[in-house]
Amino acid sequence: MRMLTPLIAAVSALALTAPGYAKTIAVAAGADAQRRLQEALIVAEPGDVIELGAGRFDLTDGLSLDVNGVTLRGAGMEASVLDFTGQKGAGEGLLVTSDQVTLRDFAVENPKGDGIKSKGADDIVYYRVRVTWTGGALTTNGAYGIYPVESTGVLIDGCKVSGASDAGIYVGQSKGITVRYSVAENNVAGIEIENSRNALVTDNYVTRNTGGILVFDLPNLPVMNGGDVVLARNLVIDNDTPNFAPKGNIVASVRRGTGIMVMANDDVSVVGNRIDGNPTTAVMVISYPNTFEDPRYNPTPRRVFIGNNVIGRNGYAPQIDGAAQLLAAFGGALPPVLWDGLGVAPTALGIADASAWSLNLPAQAASFETARPAPLRLLPPPPTTLGIMPGAPVSLDARIGK
């Protein structure tokens, strides 16, 4: 018996990872989808695969998964559609609260709140998942499409989100994050990394959003001090949709046509991106613009580095007070990098090769009227502090055969 114990332990450990020991629960589209799918999500055991058939699943309530190590897999992001158009309750379409979950090859349409939220769900993989609000850019759409929060280990790969009235792909209060090979189109923010550390955002296509890629740090949250973020090789193209976020949310203040925006945070690198066709600015680096009460919070950006990027025509129709005068002063288009002038230069911001201008705000939370815009001399890049490439644990790649 004593000999058996380690063997049993080994088998159980295998069951968590090896598909050979797991069972597959098939759930077809059609009548009573809500009950059948939710029941499968409840009775699944670690290692199981829940397989969604092709077709539409008409759902009346939010779904949730709270079992570790489960894979929810459809027949493709155009084939298996979880349709929440008739949803009556809950704050999101699908909620995941367990670890080591893989979501792949299905779509979520028209959830009343957020699309897929994973909270406290470590080592999660979103692969070839689509979240769409089919009515286009509407204020009445839900806030976030793909929404991991308070998690360690997040891989988002090959996903597609459009219509989110806040951020298409939003990772909040998390660490160890990779967002890659994904498309965010027609959201207020395409991709947003908020109050998170150790994030790699690479090889994504963000277009027709109000703002392309945002890296924010906000006060009064359980997890703060975001940083160690790399934005590399993204296509940040034609983000020109008027802001349709409900007021009160921080993204409602994002100007139409912002390519990449960094607010507060430390150690952010913007390298190798193609940034073109964004009417307000290619890149914006600013402090938190509101007053706040939180002694733990640092509102200024530190060590933000704008490396070599391919920067096309941006800043030609800026949504900024005094735009006409500014355009005249700068010869028809604003310089690609906009800084609010707060934080200690040169440790706040370093620019390898791009012209820039500063609002020269006198203080944090100062109003725009107090700005004294002026061209910004190129600052020497700060010493790099990034020891290792950030991102999700490499082990997550194995789950999608990479």
Partner 1 sequence: MKLLAAALLLTAAAVVSARSPHIAFVNDSAIQSATNPATLADFHFFSDPARQVPVKGVTPYRLNTPLWSDGAEKLRFVYVPDGQKAVADGEGLLKLPVGSALIKTFKLGARLIETRVLLHREAGWVALPYQWNAAQTEARLVLAGARLDLTTPTGQAISYAIPNKNQCKECHALSGKVVPIGPKARNLAAAWLTEWQQSGRLNAVPAVSVHVPLWEQRERVPVAPAARGYLDANCAHCHNPAGSASNSGLDLRWEQHDPVKIGIGKRPVAAGRGSGGLEFDIKPGDPAHSILYYRMASLEGGVSMPELGRASLDPDGMAVVARWIRGMKR
If the CB atoms of residues 18 and 42 are measured against partner 1, the closer one turns out to be 42
Identity of the residue, 12 or 140, whose beta carbon is nearer to partner 1 in the bound complex: 140
Q: Tell me which of 143, 154, 161, 354 binds partner 1, using CB under 8 A.
A: 143
Taking the least distance from each CB to partner 1, the nearer of 47 and 93 is 93
Dist. CA 190–CA 208, nearest whole Å = 8
Cα–Cα distance list, 216 to 72, 170, 300 (Å) = 30, 11, 11
Task: Identify which range of 114-122, 233-241, 261-269, 320-328 contacts partner 1 by CB under 8 A.
Answer: 114-122
**What are the two backbone dihedrals, phi and then psi, of residue 360, each rounded to the nearest 5 degrees?**
50, 50
Q: How far is the CB of 217 from partner 1 (least distance, A)?
A: 12
Q: Shortest approach of partner 1 to residue 350 CB, angstroms?
A: 30
Q: How many CB atoms lie within 10 A of CB 12?
A: 12
Instruction: Using the minimum distance from each CB to partner 1, give the nearer residue, 111 or 299.
Output: 111
**Whole-number Å distance between alpha carbons of 365 and 292:** 9
Q: Total residues contacting partner 1 (rule CB under 8 A)?
A: 54
Applying the rule CB under 8 A, the residues between 217 and 236 that interact with partner 1 are 218, 220-223
Count CA atoms closer than 13 A to 152's CA, side-chain side. 1
Q: Does 166 contact partner 1 by CB under 8 A? A: yes
Nearest to 73 by CA among 42, 40, 113, 97: 40
Among the listed residues 133, 176, 183, 134, the one whose alpha carbon sits nearest the alpha carbon of residue 158: 183
Angle made by CA atoms 124, 58, 104, in degrees to the nearest 5: 25
Residue 254 in contact with partner 1, rule: CB under 8 A: no
| Residue whose entry in the numeric block shows the structure tokens 């450990």 | 13
* Residues 16-55 within binding reach of partner 1 (CB under 8 A): 34-36, 38-39, 41-43
Binding stretches for partner 1 (CB under 8 A):
34-36, 38-39, 41-43, 60-62, 64-66, 87-91, 95, 97, 111-114, 119-120, 139-144, 147, 149-150, 165-166, 170, 172-173, 218, 220-223, 246-250, 290, 293-294
